[in-house]
Structures are given as C-alpha cells and as structure tokens.
Amino acid sequence: MRVVLVTYGSRGDVEPMAGLAVRLRALGAEVRVCAPPDFAELLDGVGVPLTPLGWPIRALATGAIPDKAKAGLAGIAAELTAMAYEAVTGAAGDRAAVVATGSFPAVAGARAAAEKLGVPYVFTSLSPSYLPSSHHAPRPWPGQVIPEGVTGNRELWALDAEHKDALFGETINRHRVSVGLPPVDGIRDHVFTGRPFLATDPVLGPWQETPELDVTQTGAWIRPDERPLPADLEAFLAAGEKPVYVGFGSMPMRGASAQEISRAVIEAVRARGRRVLLGSGWADLTAIDDRDDCFVVGEVNQQALFGRVAAVVHHGGAGTTATAARAGAPQVIVPQVADQPYWAGRVTELGIGTGHDGPTPTAESLSAALKIALAPQTGARAAVVAGTVRTDGADRAAKLLLGLTGSAG
C-alpha cells in the first residue's frame, strides 16, 4: 500500500508527517511526502522521498518572493491548490491513501486529487482549535469582521464557513472544474470532511465530542530524534546551572527587529539570574555581547535538549509545545499567529507555564512571564504532566490508515 502525506507549511506542519511516515514504513507501507522543498534534508534523514510542493516556505513567509507578495491571497491560493493537486496525482497511485494538513488551499488540492483518483482521503488537524465545535469559538481570520451581537459558538463557526467560502470557494471550485470535478458548496466542510483525524495529545489538546464532527483523536505524531547534541552545546550545558531556552522556530517575530528581540529576551533571562540558550531560527536571534552566559544554536534535537533546560520560551507551535511538555520543561509561549494562542492558553490552564501577553516581548514583560514559569510549583506541575503525555499517536494513526484498504503490505 502507498500512503501520500501532504502538507504545505512550516517545520511544525512537516515534523508530524515525518513521524507518521516513519511508523507507516515500519508497518510495511510505501510512503511519499508532498511538502515544501525546504524540508528535503529532514525527510531524507528518515528515508522518505519528498515530492516538492510549492515555493520554499521560508522565502514565501518572509516576503522573499516579490511576485508572490504582489499576487495576493487569491493568486497564491489558486497556484497552491493546483500545485498540490499535481504533486499528489504524481505521487499517488490507484491503491493509495492521501493524508493532508497545513495550508487550506493545498489541502483542498490534495482532496481534489484523492477524489479524482478514487482513493481514500483523510484531513488531519494539528490543533483542536481549527475544528468546528459547539464547545469553542473559531479564531477570526485576518480581515474577517464579526457582526455585533454574534457570540454563540455555532453562529461563529457558521460565519467561519462563510468566510472561507468567500476567500477560497471560487478559486478552489474553478480548479475542480478544470480537472473534471464538480464544484462543491461549503468548501470548508468539504475539505475537512465529517471524519477528520486530530493529531494532538488528549491531555495537552483535548477534544470534546460534538455533533458537528466525528473526530478521531490519535495523539500527537512524534518523529523520534536520536541525534546527539553538538559537543559545544554539551559543554555549555555542563558549564553551569540549567539555562533558559528561547527560540521561535519557523516564525519571524513581529513588532521589532531581530536585534531588539534578541536584546529583550537575553536581558529578561539574565534578570532572572539564569543563563540563556538561544535558538536562532527564523527570528534570527543572536548574542548581544560576548558574555559566556549566552550560547546560540541552530536547528537542534529538542527532544534531547528540553529535559536539560530550566524553561522553554517559544512561539507556541503544536510540536514545540508537546516536546517541551514531554520533557517536563516549564513553558512561556509568545504566540504570533494561527493556533499559537490556543496552545498558550492550554499551557496556562494546565499550570505548566504561561502565555505572554502579545506577540512582541520586552525585557520587562518576558521577565514577568519567566517568574511564573520558573516558580517551583510550575516545575513540579510540568513534571507531573510530562508523565501523562502519550507517545504512540503516530503508531495509532498509521494502523488506522492501513486499515482503510484492509492491507498493511
């Protein structure tokens, strides 16, 4: 059996697919991943072929592709839908299953490809907050206006569906007709289907049953990482007390320059009497002086690292949140976009850290948040929650997917 895994997004969207791919291969499936070309090395590292999908995601996210910035949302969505369709039809066969997450237009293209090929399709959400439910409200899209007096969750989700129709419906239906498929009404529900997977841990990101959807919560899809930490990082860790890790992953920070953010986070950690370990990432964090209490790393094995730090300050991606929680590391989440405010809220509710107020930290605001994260009771609570986080989500999802065709070979 062949399984085609599709995503267009940052590393946080690709890592879960890599985790699922590893388990599918272990169970005898043939796997292809359609993802941004940025992640060829990551997927090569787990022995999974990459079918490049779309433009390099970092270049697109940072505005380094000028003609795409000029194209606007509609133009990018139209191209991305078509590119995802072509990638999936090229990677799949007549005996395959398609699993998709990430950017909505890309997922719509994957859905159309599966429909055209007549193969099973599974939409997967990496956060409960994306899925329609009477138990929570959607996050408004940029530019979306909520009419005064509309406060009920079902009403808000109905508006969310209307907004997605307005943003993407015409574009996606035009593509569907161009490949010989009929147009559809209610594009969001068509793409999500009535039976999506939810790849989150039941403790960190629980799902409450709702009449709107029949959701299968598998647990988070984790890629085991056995890489050793670099020798110079090991030396820094051994040279003193546990540092505070600060890194914002595949997320350019808003509201300040890289130098300003770097100064703010370093001064905040120092104000708490701690050493600081910076993950440079897309925020381009860097040292502000030559003091030996600060060390800068690039991409690193966070599974090996987070159990050895005093706290983790990050952007609130689902994967980073889960990795820190598994390690028992208290967290400060500085949410920027998408589901990141949801994870900041969950960390706060669970008592394993706190959310920062706003996307742009200052030395004073981050120091105040770190006071909460570094409190003994937060560390004790984080250690308790760490023991409850499941690690078998990818295995469960892989077995369910192989069952779609009744074969694991």
Asked if the model's pLDDT at residue 365 lies above 70, the reply is yes
Structure confidence at residue 409 as a pLDDT band (50, 70, 90): very low
Copy the structure tokens of residue 7.
């995503």
pTM for the whole structure: 0.94
Structure confidence at residue 270 as a pLDDT band (50, 70, 90): very high
CA 172/CA 306 separation, integer angstroms:
41
2-221+391-402 and 231-386 share one CATH topology?
Answer: yes
Q: Are strands 353-355 and 294-297 parallel, antiparallel or unpaired?
A: unpaired
Are 76 and 106 contacting, i.e. CB atoms less than 8 angstroms apart? no
CA 377/CA 357 separation, integer angstroms:
21
Asked if the model's pLDDT at residue 72 lies above 80, the reply is no
Average pLDDT score over residue span 204-233: 95
Range name among 10-24, 92-106, 140-154 with the lowest pLDDT average: 140-154
Class of domain 231-386: alpha beta
Mean of the per-residue pLDDT values of the chain: 93
Q: How far from 327 is each of 321, 323, 349, 383, 385, CA to CA, in Å? A: 10, 6, 18, 8, 9
User: What pLDDT, on the 0 to 100 scale, is given for residue 408?
Assistant: 37
Closest CA to 111 of 17, 164, 175: 175
Average pLDDT score over residue span 223-241: 96
Phi-psi region of 138 (alpha: psi -120 to 50; beta: other; left: phi over 0): beta
Position with higher pLDDT, 374 vs 409: 374
User: What pLDDT, on the 0 to 100 scale, is given for residue 71?
Assistant: 61
Average pLDDT score over residue span 313-319: 96
Asked if the model's pLDDT at residue 67 lies above 80, the reply is no
User: What pLDDT, on the 0 to 100 scale, is given for residue 43?
Assistant: 93
Asked if the model's pLDDT at residue 95 lies above 80, the reply is no
* Backbone CA torsion sign across 10, 12, 18, 24: negative
The residue with tokens 């997004």 is 9
Percent of the residues in the chain that have a pLDDT greater than 70, as a whole number: 98
Torsion of CA 77, 83, 84, 89, to 10 degrees: 150
User: What pLDDT, on the 0 to 100 scale, is given for residue 261?
Assistant: 96
* CA distance from start to end of the chain: 6
User: What pLDDT, on the 0 to 100 scale, is given for residue 199?
Assistant: 98
Which CATH number describes the domain made up of 2-221+391-402? 3.40.50.2000
User: What pLDDT, on the 0 to 100 scale, is given for residue 406?
Assistant: 56
Backbone phi, psi, residue 122, to 5°: -130, 120
User: What pLDDT, on the 0 to 100 scale, is given for residue 61?
Assistant: 80
Domain spans of the chain? 2-221+391-402, 231-386
